[in-house]
Structure 1
């Protein structure tokens, strides 16, 4: 979170959602200072929330509660522990604000749309989708591809393939992207080039989200 706070800059507010019973302030002066100045906000999940499996996370993200918490924001940047932003990029996240949904484009052999592990989303659109559609009945396996399919029916503003690649890389490679999701897994043969461009990617080596 400190990395993202630094690259995004002071105009951004970061929200950490966690269960109150499990929360302990990290022993990190930098993190404490970020909380004290309001750049990182701690919010508590409903007490009965369970996020112990991938399915739990999918169900949580496809229900209204989380999107209603951030619905007043113009755009929301979601990032998992296996994603990173490159501080040397000529792009900023704000450069992609025109889009309702953008993330690393998914290789067609894996599905359609954008990967959600590092993605910029219109929370009003996503909240409306969760109120109007049922992920459990959709037959979709992944929340990001479900949201993409539902968004298409509502006339969203979406990026070109090139713009999405410049925003983030996962299964499809692009030189000098702004962000990366699971680069060691999907772009193993490009890691030397990626790390030369964005040394921060080294923080992800050996890390993969559940």
Structure 2
């Protein structure tokens, strides 16, 4: 009798233990699946991240042309990629040496693999060796009709002495309504701006180049093109005041103004209409008050030319270091020059 009673109990016990084991295995599996991976293949992680980017806009292209190898190429390119709106694709045209320099960066190679960044040689039939050759390159109809993708309508051209500021409240997309915009030569002028950091409408430039040819040794490409775009019947070129919002180089623009919050209202909750320049908030943005803050900067001379209107006082320079610290990448800076006394270049 005792044995007969134990057998059903033993069977039930075995079934119960099996169920517990299965439940424990399921719990362990769920726990493993919800744990963050501690040993993730780096390449797989990068590809997963890059494949989840917003789609690229084929009508836009940011272009850097540089035949000189430089350690600046990769960090500058990566900064522009991070700062421009995410739908902008990029193209780097370089020499064998400059392509090797920029491709040494793993982050650059990851963007190239994702399709965000194109890396290509400067065509053999073209040259960028010096200002005249660059002007010939950028006024060649072949470049716009054959070299650039046919879908490109807006071309953001930048050089190694230019930068877009991460703290800027304006985006390059805010200027897409213009056929040409760059740091203005005349802040009160109706057209024209430096090409070293410039936004250009390709279709209008193509129309100009189909009807006119820049003479060899003529005006620099940015002067020659912007002058003809200003005379084009359908072009909309940015005037001096708009261009100053886009980029600073020689002439300063209007300083930012921070207004105090209205009585009885918290400054942080204020609408942009109730604030100062672009809705600056009193108590938060006070450090911006009284200073010119363009979307980006172009210095010229590979970072060697700093004009007094932008850079001429310690206060102006100190504010730029706060507002746009990334511009330090583009400048030939040696901190030892700013140390007083007989302190040498080597510090201990």
TM-score by length of structure 2 reads: 0.54
What does 1:22-101 correspond to in 2, within 5 Å?
A: 23-24=99-100, 26-68=103-145, 69-101=148-180
- How many matched pairs? 203
Matched, 1:128 2:245: no
1:71 Cα shift? 4.6
**Partner residue of 2:332?**
206
* Distance in 1, Cα, partners of 2:86 & 2:163: 18
Q: Which runs of 5+ in 1 are unaligned?
A: none
Does the 8 Å contact 1:70/1:123 carry over to 2?
no
Q: CA deviation at 1:205?
A: 1.3
User: CA 1:4–1:54 in structure 2 vs 1: closer, same or farther (change >3 Å)?
Assistant: same
Equivalents in 2 of 1:159, 1:48: separation in Å?
Answer: 33
Matched, 1:188 2:267: no
Are the structure 2 counterparts of residues 202 and 23 from structure 1 closer, same or farther at C-alpha, using a change threshold of 3 Å? Answer: closer
| 166-175 or 183-192: bigger deviation | 183-192
Contact 2:99 2:120 in 1 (8 A): no
Stretch moving more, 21-30 or 118-127: 21-30
Give the corresponding residue for 1:17.
93
Task: Choose 1 or 2 for highest CA Rg.
Answer: 2
Alignment match, 1:167: 246
Contact 2:208 2:228 in 1 (8 A): yes
Q: State the Cα deviation string for residues 35-81 of structure 1 (Å, max 9, x = none).
A: 11111012333223222221111111111122221452231100011
Conserved in 1, the CA contact under 8 Å of 2:244 and 2:252?
yes
Q: Which has the higher strand share?
A: 1
C-alpha displacement of 1:197 = 1.0
TM value normalised by structure 1? 0.87
Matched residue SS, 1:135: coil
Kindly report structure 1 stretches of 4+ aligned residues shifted beyond 4 Å. 19-22
Higher relative contact order (CA 8 A, sep 6+): 1
CA-atom RMSD, angstroms?
Answer: 2.2
